[in-house]
Amino acid sequence: MSERTNTMRAAVVDAFGGPERVRVERVPVPRPGDGQVRVRVRAAGVNPVDGAVRVGVFGGAGQRLGLGWDVAGEIDEVGPGVADWTVGRRVVGLHYGPVKPLGTHAEYVVLDASALAPAPAAADDAAAAALPLSGLTAARAVDLLGLAPGASVLVTGAAGVVGGLAVQLAARAGLVVTALAGAQDEEFVRSLGASAFVERGGAPAGPVDGVLDAAVLGEAALAFVRDGGVYVGLRPHGGPAAERGIRVEEQEVAPDGEHLGRLVALVDAGELTLRVADTFDLSDAAKAHAALATPGTRGRLVLTVG
């Protein structure tokens, strides 16, 4: 931040379209309000939801929209009423909301203090930035399954970022995990804790107690659930219709610093693996969006901010 101009760089879109619509502009540095802190961004995840914002899935036509939900960095300023955080503390957090003037793809971002957790000591900034959105999404989905240890669960999209975290968290919860992914990913998803593997396009050996549908297969995944089982999807208000007594849940992520802190503890204990596919400088945000559309990416794309 320049003390003279009090501006910063931020990636924004002002018209919907392809990666070329992402521009890095100079904008005023935000100031924290009551209960908020300002974070000096060191790394920020680039998620599919950012691409959805860019093409107009969530609306906001005619507005300048900020990009970015995940952040890893250090606290730069503390707003009124914040007692638990201090300047210089390394943190991770989730900046929720698809339609917002500024996101985490910037040099500074303001978040509610309750959305923050200490950054994992075992991860660098790029890896830490891959945790908040994907980790909270996977953890919430596993919680919504509501299955007892020993129950069977199929995780679709198990080699993806959210699916991979879900495999780890479900196995840690004592569930018997079958992973559905591409043939080339079998060894990897088994290393995450999957007990069985199904190649994409195939079916498990028999009905499962639950499906965590990270690949958003919808009705195709619902068909694998036993009567009276549970289906958990990741598309709010867009899941399949319930049938055969199956409980259908569609989870929506929300900022939760306390829950995020528990995930950080798992990372530091070596029980949760974070994956980064590639990093891009903030100035190359449009290139990161182009890479987002590349099939077969394994791990989170991350913007780094010098």
| Band of residue 235 on the pLDDT scale cut at 50, 70, 90 | confident
For residues 168-175, average pLDDT = 98
* Residue-level pLDDT at 5: 66
- State pLDDT tens for residues 51-79: 999 999 999 888 999 999 999 999 999 99
Beta carbons within 8 Å of 57's beta carbon, 6+ residues apart? 98
Superfamily classification of domain 7-131+275-304:
Medium-chain alcohol dehydrogenases, catalytic domain (3.90.180.10)
**What tens digit of pLDDT does each residue of 82-140 get?**
999 999 999 999 999 889 999 999 999 999 999 999 999 999 999 999 999 999 999 99
Residue 3 confidence (pLDDT): 46
Residue 119 phi/psi, 5° resolution?
-70, 145
Residue-range domain boundaries for the chain = 7-131+275-304, 134-250
List all residues 6 or more positions away from 118 whose beta carbon is below 8 Å from its beta carbon.
89, 90, 91, 92, 261, 264
Q: 258 pLDDT exceeds 50? A: yes
In CATH, what is the architecture of 134-250?
Answer: 3-Layer(aba) Sandwich (3.40)
Structure tokens at 29: 């540095």
- Which one, of 38, 40, 109, lies nearest residue 68 by Cα? 109
Q: Identity (one letter) of the amino acid at 87?
A: V
Looking only at Cα atoms, what is the longest distance across the chain? 66
pLDDT in tens, 14-49: 999 999 999 999 999 999 999 999 999 999 999 999
